[in-house]
Structure 1
């Protein structure tokens, strides 16, 4: 595939201007990556298994339900609707037991932050034995995910993979992490690291969903203007943590903190842009795009 692309670019260089040649190379590269989704697996996600870390994620869904961990899901009553969707995507340690009526019971893919790994390990029998049919995708900075024995999160995941070899455990590659940073900067004009922010699990989940799914239904995610409306709903940050901080209060704090925060509100504005280019709808609450 790479050789064919190079061959065509060489031929085109005889007749195309240099700027146009670079543009064509970019398009061909994107086309090659899209082709890889169907033939060689999904780039940017490598499996962690006792056999090694070199297997791409082989998965494709015609329709996905991306279920937010937001308190907006409380009393949503859409559990049955969610369970009927082909692939159900959840985040971090968001539970289903006891919340089935609102969030459903099935989990096809679970995207997990490096900071939430201890929560899954603490309840490993549930996540990696009872829910062995779930595909797990873990993301984290290089210092935690490095594979030279010094990445403590990667080491923990490796032990889990050895203990439960049938479980599909994947890690977001360093290149994919950098790609996500580039997307954030392209959409906002701001360098993520210079602003002192971290991308959220929701951001990585949304990118995976776009890579993975032909169409996406997002449940329980508020838009970027929700918290500025006078009559906005007051719900907990997570539906399974009733006594924790209010969602909008958490979002405002993270949006304006100078170091170490997530730009939740900014990310929601980015999703609204993506929804105009991808088959995506937002439910409970619905968005006006």
Structure 2
């Protein structure tokens, strides 16, 4: 009788625990529903941490997936490369910031599927808004930046500007990285280097955010014009620069800046590690992995 009573008591305890877990899980689900509105079909979908910018709200995740992607560096390595036709044959072409294609098609191609843009580059896109957001309506734009500029509560100056663009060009596909997504990229950098980005005085480059996005949405990645951590040659910092700025010098200066520098060389070393585990190939120059 004693054993039977004890068994019943344990069953009651387990039932209460199970009920508590179910109630907690239901609470979490309801919070997710409140934070991320459902799609028209009643389902959420896409990549986590990227939300569509609308004139009066944000909604739905970035929903992109490709078997093959071309990630185009803005490096001067691309000038006179003659790779434009090869790039345009790849299903998804990813570019960064305001890197132009007009006048450079022979070297970098003319198509743009996804463009990852820093908060600091947004004013240049807005200045040429007709080209980027009307003529380039087939392009998905992914914007990143610190919370003070990209916050979605009406106090983010850059985010507010993007909402106005969304109202002016309803067909434009504009997405913002959430603060949690930006923090995740910071955590990845620290996990790979052992260094806290804030304490080391570094800023992640647009290339770092772009590479992480490409790894999520692309089965295979062909990277064009990106130098490795050891490679150096006298080329322009950007292929479209009108004022000569040496890429090698720029990388070295940023790598050793005490505050406010991009760790370009360190990031390239991280990409080499990732390439050993993912289907990623580097072209012009080729990397010895």
Q: 1:267-286 maps to which residues of 2 (within 5 A)? A: 267-286=267-286
Which structure: larger Rg? Answer: 2
Runs of 5+ in structure 1 lacking a partner?
A: 1-9, 12-37, 228-232
d(CA) in 2 for partners of 1:39, 1:67: 30
Q: Secondary structure at the match of 1:210?
A: helix
Q: In the aligned structure 2, how far is the partner of 1:237 from the partner of 1:116?
A: 16
**Inter-partner Cα distance in structure 2 for 1:280 and 1:217:** 6
1:154-194 superposed Cα distances (whole Å, 9 cap, x missing partner): 01101001111111100011111111001000100000010
* Whole-angstrom CA distance in 1 between matches of 2:115 and 2:153: 25
CA distance in 2, matches of 1:134, 1:120: 13
Map of 2:27 onto structure 1: none
**Equivalent residue, structure 2, for 1:72:** 77
Q: Aligned-pair distance for 1:243?
A: 2.0
Paired position in structure 2 for 1:56: 61
Map residues 237-252 of structure 1 onto 2, 5 A cutoff. 237-252=237-252
Does 2:126 align with 1:121? yes
Deviations 1:22-64 (A, max 9, x none): xxxxxxxxxxxxxxxx971111110101352121011111100
Whether 1:222 aligns to 2:227 is: yes
Q: Give yes or no for contact 2:56–2:163 (8 Å, CA) kept in 1.
A: no
Secondary structure of residue in 2 paired with 1:226: coil
TM-aligned CA deviation for residue 242 of structure 1: 3.9
The C-alpha deviation readout for 1:248-285, integer Å capped at 9, x for no partner, is 10000000000001000000000000001110000000
Structure 2 contact 44–60 (Cα < 8 Å) conserved = no
For residues 44 and 157 of structure 2, what CA distance do their matches in structure 1 show?
33
Match of 2:113 in 1: 108
Separation (CA, whole Å) in 1 of partners of 2:196 and 2:53: 30
In structure 2, distance between residues paired with 1:215 and 1:51: 36
Structure 1 stretches of at least 4 aligned residues deviating more than 6 Å after TM superposition: none
Q: Retained in 1: the 8 A contact 2:114–2:142?
A: yes
Please report the TM-score for the alignment, with normalisation by the length of structure 2: 0.84
Residue 139 (structure 2) pairs with residue 134 (structure 1): yes
What secondary structure sits across from 1:89 in the alignment? strand
- For residues 172 and 98 of structure 1, the distance between their equivalents in structure 2, rounded to whole angstroms, comes to 30
Query: Structure 1 residues 288, 39: closer, same or farther in 2, change over 3 A?
Result: farther
Q: How many residues align?
A: 249
Indicate the residue corresponding to 1:262 in structure 2: 262
Question: Which residues in structure 2 correspond to 1:14-33 (within 5 Å)?
Answer: none
- C-alpha distance in 1 between matches for 2:202 and 2:211: 18
